[in-house]
Amino acid sequence: MNTAINENYYVIIMAGGIGSRFWPMSRTNYPKQFHDILGTGKTLIQETFNRFSTFIPKQNIFIVTNSMYKDMVKEQLKNKVTDDQILCEPFGKNTAPCVAYASFKIYQRNPNAILLVAASDHLILDNKRFKKQVEIGLKACGSEHIIMTLGIKPTSPNTGYGYIQFEEEKGQEGYHKVKLFTEKPSIELAEQFIDSGDFVWNSGIFLFSAHTILKAFEEYLPDMAEQFRHIPYYTKGEDEAIYTTYKACQNISIDYGIMEKAQNVYVIPTDCGWSDLGTWGSVYENSEKDYFENALKGNIMTYNSNQNVVHELNKDKLVVINGLEDFIVVDTEDVLLICRKEDEQFIKKIVADIKDKNQNQFI
């Protein structure tokens, strides 16, 4: 099946997050999706756009971002998207309003639209396998009123991900009925999930027809559906109405708001080299390393040091490290972070504490 010519296929790229677990490189004024984190020569949002543009019409790729990042999106996707394809949120209200905004707007233009929702900052190493699995999902969502998600086969009992339990395979298509969503379990529970063999990580990549997801909003988030249904899309009044709607609507994720409640959710288990690059540990795992398993970026010299991730953003500064093992070291213009790799989830608390101390210039 050649999806490249299917004008009903659309992508919604969510690019409004701040990425606090990736602090201090990811900052409010310059979040991680706009960085070339792995040194590929392209930023994460550029990689994401390019991945989808190989089999989705470019004019059908929509970016939902915070209004403060609109110019960054335009600059990094220059000559690839129009202003109409950049949907600006006045402030973040999690992923449910983000998906509602884009879905209602696209539905008004094309009621037959089949939508794929993905984050702007994920890594996919096997694009061929990813495309194949997405095509299965798009085709299924075009013929049935179902909600589909891509589930990633776990490689470790990671407690930073949500887990999806699935039931028997449906036909020969390779997708399964979802039985249970469990968000960020304990290490003991995560180990049990992996041992059972019928759990996958929740990738946060969703597929559905516009008609199906609008019905789901009406059933599970009716107030939100009512708010977004009355936006005057494609008119001068859209921005003002969006501001009013976002101010009033609930702050909730699409996972909690719909996925955990809906009865028509299916999952495609896949192994496509996926990572959400949400933490420094995931960056370490996906980076090139030296002989001593250090992932280094910048002008860095190491001695007696192993399995560290070290990023120095100042090209004119020399960093010398001696006797360090399993640490995260990140040096920006105004912040130095030194943290054990095993404590990477603690970075989110550090950011919260900085907010509490009213030192927002550092986040």
The per-residue pLDDT for range 261-317, each reduced to its tens digit, is 999 999 999 889 898 887 898 889 888 999 999 999 999 999 999 999 999 988 899
What pLDDT is stored for residue 173 in this prediction?
A: 72
Question: Does residue 209 register a pLDDT over 90?
Answer: yes
Tell me the per-residue pLDDT of 159-180, one tens digit each, with 9 for 90 and over: 778 899 988 765 557 788 998 8
Query: What is the mean predicted confidence (pLDDT) over 116-140?
Result: 93
Question: Does residue 148 register a pLDDT over 70?
Answer: yes
Q: Are 129 and 272 in contact (CB under 8 A)?
A: yes
Tell me the per-residue pLDDT of 262-277, one tens digit each, with 9 for 90 and over: 999 999 998 898 988 8
Report the C-alpha gap between 233 and 199 in whole angstroms.
Answer: 40
Tell me the per-residue pLDDT of 54-88, one tens digit each, with 9 for 90 and over: 999 999 999 999 999 999 999 999 999 999 999 99
**Partner residues linked to 267 by β-bridges:** 149, 176
What pLDDT is stored for residue 1 in this prediction?
A: 44
Tell me the per-residue pLDDT of 92-122, one tens digit each, with 9 for 90 and over: 999 999 999 999 999 999 999 999 999 999 9
Longest dimension (CA), the chain: 63
Nearest residue to 306 (alpha-carbon basis) of 323, 319, 318: 323
- Sequence-separated (6 or more) residues with CB below 8 Å from residue 85: 59, 61, 62, 63
What pLDDT is stored for residue 105 in this prediction?
A: 97
What pLDDT is stored for residue 170 in this prediction?
A: 56
Report the C-alpha gap between 341 and 293 in whole angstroms.
Answer: 13
Length of the chain, in residues: 363
Q: What is the pTM of this model?
A: 0.91
Region(s) of the chain under CATH 3.90.550.10: 3-275
Tell me the per-residue pLDDT of 1-52, one tens digit each, with 9 for 90 and over: 444 468 999 999 999 988 788 899 888 889 999 998 888 889 999 999 999 9
Q: Which two tokens stand for residue 148?
A: 């589909």
Q: Are 242 and 64 in contact (CB under 8 A)?
A: no
- Sequence-separated (6 or more) residues with CB below 8 Å from residue 180: 164, 165
Higher pLDDT, 207 or 153: 207
What pLDDT is stored for residue 126 in this prediction?
A: 92
What pLDDT is stored for residue 313 in this prediction?
A: 84
Nearest residue to 5 (alpha-carbon basis) of 54, 62, 77, 63: 54
CATH architecture of 3-275: Alpha-Beta Complex (3.90)
Query: Packing angle between helix 238-248 and helix 222-229, nearest 10 degrees?
Result: 160
Report the C-alpha gap between 291 and 307 in whole angstroms.
Answer: 10
